[in-house]
Amino acid sequence: MAPSQMPNSINGVNGIAEMYQYPPANPEGEYEILPQYHSKPSKLRVACAGAGASGLCLAYKMEKMLTPGSWELTLFEKNPHFGGTWYENTYPGVACDIPSHDYNFTWDPKPDWSQFFASGKEIQGYFEDFAERHGSKKYMQLNSKIIEARWDPSEGIWNLTIENPQTKEQRKDWAHTFVNGTGILNNWRWPDIEGLHDFKGPLMHSAHWDHSVDFNGKTAGVIGTGSTSVQIVPQLQKICKEVQVYMRSPTWISPPFGAGALTNDLQKGEDVNPGQRQYNFSETDIKKFKEDPEYHLDFRKRIEAEINSLFGMYQQGSELSNQFREVITAEMHRRMGPGHEKLKEFIIPKWSPGCRRISPGDGYLEAIVKENVEPVFDGIKRIVPEGIETNDGKVHKMDILVCATGFQVAFRPAFKVINGEGKSIDEDWANGPNLYFGVSAPRFPNYYTIVGPGATWSNGTLLPSIETTIEYSIKCMKKMQTEGIKAMAVKQEALDEIYAHFDTFHKTTVWQEECRSWFKDGKIKNRIYLWPGATIHFLKTIKDPRFEDYDYTYRYKNRFAFLGNGDVKATATRDIKGLSTYIRNSDHEWSVE
């Protein structure tokens, strides 16, 4: 047999090299032995919607996990700059509710965070720095919004339509694998209130902040009581003549999660204000984090362990749940001070903490009891040119109106995704989301959603779930590359069974109580699309794909075509150690490349 002609070096750029070829879509003729070594990867073309945390992580992990030169990647980003949530949200007070030292990629710590809860600007800076250090920008196409992805079952590819949001020009592209990295909270929307655009003053949404508007000495109206409003109101209270807060629903405002390491390590002996959850790291703190990576790692681990250990609070009626209700209720009363009975009656929920995502917020409760802040409890009837008319018929006048009303929760993608039968995800999910482990959809092959409905959003840090879901998706890509697989789609039967587990598990969790929540697709009573366990439980579940839960379409007339001509890669590269990996001095793991 002639030796393989595979060269020893790779001259690829951006994951492109001539030695790896696109696989044939539909090989003709009789079955033939492929002239290749065992499991030689075919060239894989990957498209990702979004260049936020998910897109950046995908680029990094593909470089790490796939054979150099055997893949191509494009991150299609709708904005003129990358960063996603943290690029888009620039409202006053924007910050993360997870401690900053655990709001970075788990393998890429940042010892010099300035605060215990990082501002949006500092988080965006972290991702920009990450992209610089790891060369992520070369994969990006900015001002490129995917508006349609259509699966071609014959070719085994996704045909993509991309639009420039500024010029509305459209172009086409394609990929073997399509990753939806747009996130759950991405498409902001105006609230559905009559006459909203009749308002004659500046009108803005929290996710599209107009920095040219001067709030000093003005009267501002803020609609909403969610986590965004909780961050904006204290900032506006300091500079506005008056702030009217239109409260549509109660909300738990909690002390910080994961602050045990902070209290025990850095605030020893200090007289800490229990309502002040923020902490500014000193130069000494930062120096110690930088110079002692093991100390820094231990600090990060204890934050994460504390957050993971609190999952029991979501079990209805549990000791931890009751304890949280008592502690948070007492803390909310303390922070609002004596009086304000109507406010307290409205804002403290009847349902258990966690039924909706808890909002830890500095200064919010203190702000809404200030003289220049008016909480408004009567529902909004309509918006009029001079302000808001409430259901009692009163017109509240204001200069500026802010909608802190959140996002259209992207249970369904913001773009059209159409399968080989011509059916869109919207049609396929007519009765609700249908997503296995928050990542794979039956009947939509080679399509991966990063932390979609059914994953972990309510409890714990999101970035580890993003990372592990991306690794899961790349393991699926690698299997397709190396085993001659044209398409793999998760079985509906597997999804039916995991949802049955969800439904049984959530019969006793706080999420099924009488609260309207995006965990339930914006409804009060509905299936709960939340992972039935702590974040670490989710990570354990998706660390290694259950490939038996998928159906496969093979490229060749024999599923074992990937075995090739009898060579392994080490034969082709004349690698002595690679040709003898199982010869060893002790019983340790071995593998053959």
- Whole-number pLDDT of residue 355: 86
pLDDT-above-90 percentage for the chain:
72
Q: How far apart are CA 177 and CA 156, in angstroms?
A: 9
Output 516-520 pairs: Cβ under 8 A, ≥24 positions apart. 516/249, 516/356, 517/355, 517/356, 517/357, 518/184, 518/406, 518/409, 519/356, 519/357, 519/457, 519/458
Q: Where are the domains of the chain?
A: 9-187+410-554, 203-256+320-403, 259-303
- Whole-number pLDDT of residue 273: 60
- Whole-number pLDDT of residue 419: 98
Residue 420 in tokens: 């080989």
Low-confidence ranges of the chain (pLDDT < 70): 1-18, 184-187, 256-277, 407-410, 458, 517-524
Residue 481 · residue 66 · CB < 8 Å: yes
**Which homologous superfamily does the CATH classification assign to the domain defined by 9-187+410-554?**
FAD/NAD(P)-binding domain (3.50.50.60)
Measured CA angle at 472 (ends 467, 478), to 5 deg: 125
- Whole-number pLDDT of residue 571: 85
- Whole-number pLDDT of residue 518: 64
Cα distance from N-terminal residue to C-terminal residue, the chain: 20
Q: How far apart are CA 54 and CA 64, in angstroms?
A: 15
pTM above 0.85, yes or no: yes
In 391-432, the DSSP E strands lie at: 395-397, 400-403, 407-408, 416-418
Q: How far apart are CA 533 and CA 313, in angstroms?
A: 11
Residue 455 in tokens: 């994953």
Residue 309 in tokens: 């250990």
Residue 287 · residue 111 · CB < 8 Å: no
Alpha helices in 204-280 (DSSP H): 227-239, 260-265
- Whole-number pLDDT of residue 205: 93
HEC secondary structure over 63-111 = HHHCCCCEEEEEEECCCCCCCCHHHHCCCCCCECCCCHHHCCCCCCCCC
Q: How many residues does the chain have?
A: 593
* Matching residue, tokens 């492929």: 34
- Can 9-187+410-554 and 203-256+320-403 be said to share one CATH topology? yes
Write out pLDDT tens, residues 381-392. Answer: 999 999 999 999
Phi, psi for 222 (deg, rounded to 5): -125, 120
The pairing of beta strand 407-408 with beta strand 187-188: antiparallel
Q: How far apart are CA 121 and CA 93, in angstroms?
A: 10
What b/e string do you get for 475-496 counting C-beta neighbours within 10 Å, with b at 16 or more?
Answer: ebbbbbbbbbbbbbbbeeebbe
Q: How far apart are CA 313 and CA 306, in angstroms?
A: 12
The C-alpha R_g of the chain, in whole angstroms, comes to: 26
Residue 326 in tokens: 């008592």
Indicate the DSSP class of residue 279: -
Q: How far apart are CA 372 and CA 188, in angstroms?
A: 29
- Please give the CATH architecture assigned to the domain spanning 203-256+320-403: 3-Layer(bba) Sandwich (3.50)
Cα 415 to the center of its chain, rounded Å: 17
Residue 521 in tokens: 């697709």
| Mean predicted lDDT score pLDDT of the chain | 90
Residue partners of 360: CB distance under 8 A and separation at least 6: 97, 253, 254, 255, 256, 257, 277
Residue 323 · residue 330 · CB < 8 Å: no
* Matching residue, tokens 């579940």: 541
CB atoms within 10 A of CB 356: 24
- Whole-number pLDDT of residue 237: 96
Write out pLDDT tens, residues 149-191. Answer: 999 999 999 999 999 999 999 999 999 999 999 986 666 788 8
* Matching residue, tokens 């993971």: 308
CB atoms within 10 A of CB 108: 14
